[in-house]
Structure 1
Amino acid sequence: MRDPSVHHGHRPRTQCSQQDNAHLDYASNEESSPSETVADRIVRIREDVRNLESFYKVRCSPTRYQRLQAFFENEIASLEKITFKNLDQEEKVDYILIRNYLRDQLSALVHDAEQEGKAIAFLEGYFTMRLTRIIQARQTVNDTNGQQSAAFLSESMNHVAAVQKEIIQGKEKADPVTALRATQTLLGLKEQLAEWYSFYKDYDPLFTYWVSDPYTEIDKALQDLINVIKEVVIGIKPDDTDTIIGEPVGRSRILESLQTEMIPYTPEKLIEIGRKEYDWCEQEMKKAASELGFQNWRDALEHVKTQYVEPGKQPQLVRDLIKEASTYVKTHNLATVPPICEETIQTFMMSPEAQKMNPFFLGGDEIIVSYPTSSMSHEQKLMSMRGNNIHFSRATVFHEMIPGHHLHMHYMSRHKPYRQMFQTPFCIEGWAFYWEMLLYAADSWKKTPENRIGMLFWRMHRCARIVFSLKYHLGEMSAQECVELLVDWVGHERATAEGEVRRSVMGDYGPLYQAGYMLGGLQLWALRKEVVGEGKGKWTEKQFHDKFLRANQMPVELFRALVKNEDLSEDRESTWEFYKELE
């Protein structure tokens, strides 16, 4: 149920937003036109946010936080002036979507400012703010003076050296999460300072005369500080790309995200659901293993992992599996597959570097195949081949292509495309996982015991994702413990487990993304049981699936309200306890 301690309204201004440019008045936000539809408002807000984030690009800038916070607060206030009862059902859904988006963006901004504040405090703040000011001055093309800029950089460099010395001497300390963010802040400053320098360099000869040497020195000094923080504070070598370090968001932020996603369960309840689903998977694994003559399902899984194609043949395997999945969907009339969607699938290969983050192949607009390259070590080659064996790959293709992500993304770009702004893992990943559930249960989808083990491997993986991702963000599991969970629970190769955890905690994902696969699939599965079947008012499989594809992106509970034509209120919050219907 909803946690009453989580505040839904306006958030207090962050300390960052009060430091610089406090005199600026952002209250005069772009006023919406009286004739502006909710859909038009969504498009305008999307583009306004894109413009603001592009212009106020310095991550640690107080002005950035102030401007974005004012924007979100003003848009929330403007939205509340709309007469909700006068909207039709689709418009009411759009209203709730943009309301939840604005609230979540405001909450995320406050959280990010708090975390950034810790990193700036660790860096002692002075030089970061000075460098931020000159970068921002370039954005508005303020007059610049080369000699003054050179002095500015030299002074900042002295502060960088002082901070570095204190870190080396152990006087300045931070936890690994704060230290990692500090390196990211410094890297951003380096990149934006390079842009600042290139803007004036050579176009202003006096600027180049004065600034060329100080700029080169400050650029090196910032990189040296990054390296020292990594080695002394975090404990990794500057060129280390293997160590996994993320940024747990904490329970309060998880609860806020759950409300945005319209999930009426606590993190602890979701972890319980993940464990319960895992137990079901394990029983199914035992059945399939027994059919193959194995007493232990892990032995059967090892058997399945040895069934891979030789190097160079994986693209052809994936091609044939894509055709098999597409033909099945069309033959059984499960969804409308537009010819161009099927015709224009493109295939690419994953680089060895990218496979560290994505050990299995990816899909969507195109299919990106992971498989060994000649540059990998013998051990890496075997792990990649075992992790992308025939049966794992068969289970993955319909998740990634048709009827999964590729089909979904084809529709998203063509039907209510403005709703892509509200992309949620419970919808986009839930849809793909839902097909894993549907095809596992379908007798018409022919499956050998090895095929079922391949499907169950991924299903157990989704269970484990719920548990390890939520526990990680709750601060109850370390990254290494997450790796061990994937190895022990699911039977991952250690390299693929590390890649999955690295992708989960170091990629650009929200705290609920990994949990969204199975939980979103369970939501759609529960809704299908409500509305699909024979009888008055019931939908066919194809009608249900096509309706979902044309609805674009939204929390599944809102899609349920569309399908069932439920009464909606402007203060609608999550109420659908979908999991009890599966018990």
Structure 2
Amino acid sequence: MDFGVILVKSIFNILNPMTHMYVTRLRWVVFLLSWLTTFGAVAQSSKSQFNLYEQTSEVAGLVIRYAQDIRAVKYFYGPMPVQGRSAQGGGQVLNSPEQRKRLREVDHGYLNQLAKVDFNAMSIYGKVDYLLLKRNIDDHLLTLDQEEKEYAQIEKYIPFATGIYELEKARRRGATVDGQAVAGKLNDLQKEVSKAEESFRKLESIDMPLSRMGVEALNGLEARLKSTFEFYNGYDPMFTWWVPKPYKTLDSTLNAFAKLVRSKGKLNTTQKEDASGIKGVPIGRDELIRQLRAEMISYTPEELIDLANREFAWCDRELLKASRGNGFWQ
């Protein structure tokens, strides 16, 4: 037998018991580590009712679902996209009463879910997400309440709105419609809009916020009507035959009414005009404070103005100091 082979076998026989003992010890170490890891995971899960491996925080799932649910409601109850854009050119339209009701239900549903969460048991990240989500929901509810309050004040000027909302409701479900009946309905609506327009024309003016709400409502109705028309036109033969002409007439009447409502808006405010060139409707001190609180800014408007003046004064002093240091100002 070759000497090299004999030497290798001899060394292997000598080391073999050591190798066996090493492997045995290694197996015990691996088993012990596995047991400790499993025990630690069980102990960790028993301390917390949340699974941090699912999301970045305990409330992140609610944050994502809430955003998607609100988006789904707006998509379903709003005007359908037309040629790649919404009927208003990509902008949001005023919520319909039905849409506003559904959004409020979603908000309250998520507030109920948050109420069941153990705030103290969460990590700091979960607590932050909890507070921000609740802040957003509360603010959204306030916005919906304000919108409903203003809409209730202008609803009497647009009594025909319910008829247009009903037409859109059928479109959302993809219901089969009678083209001739729809044309007759649009003719009736056109007469109602003309009558409402003549009545509104007699008013001297209305408050600017209500005028703005009226314009938004009419633009929304126009967008929803267009959405319904585009959905059936060119697909349903009888609809395509009967509806285009009365639709165009009603659409033009709604557009003219919106311009009239905009022209009647009058800004009732004690604020004096200045040379700032800033346009818009003042929201008032109370609303400004509410918005500051919503952004978690614990300052009053007066305190912010005072702080800004002090910062500007400091900037002026530093600019003068730098100018003198560079020899530009003596």
TM-score category (smaller protein) = 0.5 to 0.7
1:83 positional shift? 1.2
Partner of 1:108: 143
Matched, 1:144 2:165: no
Matched, 1:43 2:64: yes
Contact kept? 1:61, 1:129, Cα under 8 Å: no
> Partner letter of residue 149 of structure 1?
V
1:224 positional shift? 1.4
How do 1:62-77 and structure 2 match up within 5 A?
62-77=97-112
Q: Which has the larger radius of gyration?
A: 2
Matched, 1:260 2:260: no
Matched, 1:218 2:250: yes
In structure 1, distance between residues paired with 2:283 and 2:175: 38
Partner of 1:196: 228
The superposition leaves residues 305-335 of structure 1 with CA deviations (integer Å, 9 ceiling, x where unpaired) of xxxxxxxxxxxxxxxxxxxxxxxxxxxxxxx
> Partner letter of residue 158 of structure 1?
K
In structure 2, distance between residues paired with 1:233 and 1:84: 47
Partner of 2:195: 162
Relative distance call for 1:117 and 1:288 in structure 2 (3 A) is farther
In structure 1, distance between residues paired with 2:256 and 2:222: 11
Relative distance call for 1:60 and 1:72 in structure 2 (3 A) is closer
Contact kept? 1:59, 1:185, Cα under 8 Å: yes
Contact kept? 1:177, 1:245, Cα under 8 Å: no
In structure 2, distance between residues paired with 1:60 and 1:215: 22
Partner of 1:178: 210
1:213 positional shift? 1.0
Partner of 2:312: 278
> Partner letter of residue 151 of structure 1?
G
Partner of 2:16: none
Contact kept? 1:65, 1:109, Cα under 8 Å: yes
1:54 positional shift? 1.5
Secondary structure at 1:263 match in 2? coil
The count of aligned residue pairs is 252
Secondary structure at 2:206 match in 1? coil
In structure 1, distance between residues paired with 2:121 and 2:323: 58
Secondary structure at 1:265 match in 2? coil
Contact kept? 2:158, 2:196, Cα under 8 Å: no
How do 1:18-417 and structure 2 match up within 5 A?
37-57=58-78, 59-121=94-156, 124-168=157-201, 170-171=202-203, 173-233=205-265, 245-287=279-321, 293=328
Which residues of structure 1 form unaligned runs of 5+?
1-33, 236-242, 296-583
Contact kept? 2:207, 2:265, Cα under 8 Å: yes
1:222 positional shift? 1.3
In structure 1, distance between residues paired with 2:147 and 2:169: 20
Contact kept? 1:145, 1:207, Cα under 8 Å: yes
In structure 2, distance between residues paired with 1:63 and 1:248: 29
Partner of 1:553: none
Secondary structure at 1:126 match in 2? coil
> Partner letter of residue 92 of structure 1?
K
Which residues of structure 2 form unaligned runs of 5+?
1-49, 79-92, 268-276
Instruction: Work out the percentage of aligned pairs sharing the same amino acid.
Output: 29
In structure 1, distance between residues paired with 2:131 and 2:190: 49
1:103 positional shift? 1.3
In structure 1, distance between residues paired with 2:246 and 2:229: 11
Relative distance call for 1:69 and 1:289 in structure 2 (3 A) is same
Return the TM-score normalized by structure 1. 0.40
1:172 positional shift? 5.8
Secondary structure at 2:180 match in 1? helix
1:183 positional shift? 1.9
Contact kept? 1:135, 1:196, Cα under 8 Å: yes
1:155 positional shift? 1.8
Secondary structure at 2:298 match in 1? coil
> Partner letter of residue 145 of structure 1?
D
Secondary structure at 2:160 match in 1? helix
